[in-house]
Each structure stands twice: as C-alpha cells, then as structure tokens.
C-alpha cells in the first residue's frame, strides 16, 4: 500500500519515492533534503501524488527532512563541478587498471558521504583495486554501480527516432520486458535497425500498443492455420487488423486476400458446431 509517496528526482532522471511524515509545505519543483542511508541528499520534487498500483517498495522509503536552503543549492552546484572532475579521474584509473568497463556518470551525495560511479560492461568486472584508488583520493564511501544499456540511455538522454525526448529519460518509471513477438503482433518488419532504440534494445514504445494488438488478434485465426477454400488449403500468412482481412498462402506459393468474415465462414463450414 502506498502512503502519500512523493517522487523526488536527482541527476539524470534518477528517482526515488519519499515520505513527508512531518507534513512539510512542499510544492512541485521544490528542492528538498532527503534522509538517506548514512547521510543526506538533495533532489527536486517531480510528483506530489505518486500513484502506481504495480509499483512495489523494496524497503522503507526515505524521509523528506526539510526544504532546501540557498546554501544547499550552492553546494549542489559545487558538487556538479566536482563530479565532472571525478569522472575524468575515474576514467583515467579505469584505463590504468585496464578494466573492461565504460564509465557513464558520477554522482556526489549532497553531504559527500558517498560518491557513486555508474558504469556499463558486458561482463563481470573485478574493480576492487579501482575502488581502493578512488577511496584513497576522495576519503569517502565509494560505490561502483553497474547498469544496463537501457539505464545508460535513460541517464544520457537524447531524442528518439520520433523526434521526442527518449521515453526512459522523460516519463517512464520502470523498464518492462519486450520481445520480438510484440513486433510480429504489430506486423513490424523484422529489421533490428528499425526495431532498436538508442540503447540498442527493442524500442520501449512497442509496449504502448501491445494490449491493443493482442486484443484485436484474438478474433483472427493464428498464423499458419490451415483453412479449406475453393482453391484448396490455404495457410494464414498475415492478418490486417485495420481492414479485417487475412492473407492466405497456398501450396503453389500464391497468395490471396480474404475478409475476416469470409474466413470465419470457411472455418465454420470446415468445423461445424454440433
């Protein structure tokens, strides 16, 4: 059960959900200080009434401590400059240790009690020596967090082929699994270049119409279904949900278009209901 959760966003669209137990006066767009593990962090309120029935909290949500002060905001600006320097330092050390990893982003906690380095890699990485070097330089808690390519796209942002900001970098809360079957159900060409997003994975936007296509396809026979016609046995090769038509493939490698009504009538004649 969600209890008055408030969405707070941090650098590059990283979001957490917090409680306002002290009933502070908070408005959309305000910067607030959050009590996190072993310290405090600073983020911007992006949703005052977060409500997602499928969202599950894995632990006790952090608490909003207070509204950010001018000093807090100044410290945030200073941390952003430090993050740029830390990014270069870490990248050089990755090269020195010859590690198979790509540094994506660096984020300082507001109180600098923790610095998080986000990276991608196609395999497990032994970065213990790298952590030691970074901890020796910054004298604080160091976390190296491996993320996937979809999360990398969310952090870096950009524009999709539609010309709009990437969904993952703007409004998407969670990543859902996508399969090539979703593309097939929508009669999309099986061209990886056209089906893939900026991250190289299947486009998330295919999910938006998944339920629509799944429901529409229920009234059509499945692909490769054998249907007896006047010219012989035809097999369902493709369906057109918008025109209620079906393309049948015959054994002589010829095709013929039938309406859904005609196909249903043929199926009824072949398999009459007693």
**In contact, 34 and 8? CB cutoff 8 Å:** yes
Rounded-to-integer distance, Cα 274 and Cα 271, Å: 9
Q: For the domain 74-147, what is the CATH code?
A: 3.30.300
The pTM of this model reads 0.76
| Torsions phi, psi for 201 (to 5 deg) | -100, 170
Give the model's pLDDT for residue 1. 46
Give the model's pLDDT for residue 226. 87
Give the model's pLDDT for residue 189. 82
In the chain, domain spans = 6-68, 74-147, 152-215, 226-270
**In contact, 32 and 8? CB cutoff 8 Å:** yes
| Span 109-122, pLDDT tens digits | 999 999 999 999 98
| Span 22-78, pLDDT tens digits | 888 999 999 999 998 889 999 999 888 776 555 566 678 889 999 999 999 999 999
């Amino acid at each position: 059960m969600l209890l008055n959760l408030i969405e707070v966003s941090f650098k590059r669209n990283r979001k957490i959900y917090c409680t306002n137990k002290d009933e502070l006066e908070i408005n959309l767009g305000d910067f607030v200080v959050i009590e996190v593990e072993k310290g405090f962090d600073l983020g911007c309120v992006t949703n005052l009434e977060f409500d997602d029935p499928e969202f599950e909290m894995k632990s006790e949500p952090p608490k909003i401590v207070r509204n950010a002060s001018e000093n807090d905001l100044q410290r945030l600006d200073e941390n952003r400059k430090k993050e740029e320097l830390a990014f270069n330092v870490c990248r050089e050390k990755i090269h020195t240790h010859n590690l198979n990893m790509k540094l994506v982003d660096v984020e300082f906690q507001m109180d600098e009690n923790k610095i998080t380095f986000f990276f991608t890699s196609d395999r497990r990485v032994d970065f213990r020596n790298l952590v030691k070097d970074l901890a020796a330089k910054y004298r604080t808690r160091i976390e190296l967090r491996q993320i996937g390519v979809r999360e990398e796209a969310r952090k870096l942002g950009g524009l999709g082929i539609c010309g709009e900001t990437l969904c993952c970098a703007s409004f998407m809360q969670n990543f859902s699994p996508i399969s090539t079957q979703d593309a097939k159900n929508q009669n999309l060409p099986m061209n990886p270049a056209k089906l893939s997003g900026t991250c190289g994975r299947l486009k998330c936007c295919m999910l938006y119409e998944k339920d629509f296509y799944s429901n529409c396809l229920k009234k059509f026979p499945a692909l490769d279904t054998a249907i007896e016609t006047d010219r012989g046995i035809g097999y369902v090769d493709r369906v057109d949900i918008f025109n209620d038509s079906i393309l049948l493939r015959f054994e002589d490698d010829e095709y013929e278009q039938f309406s859904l009504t005609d196909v249903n009538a043929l199926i009824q004649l072949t398999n009459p209901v007693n």
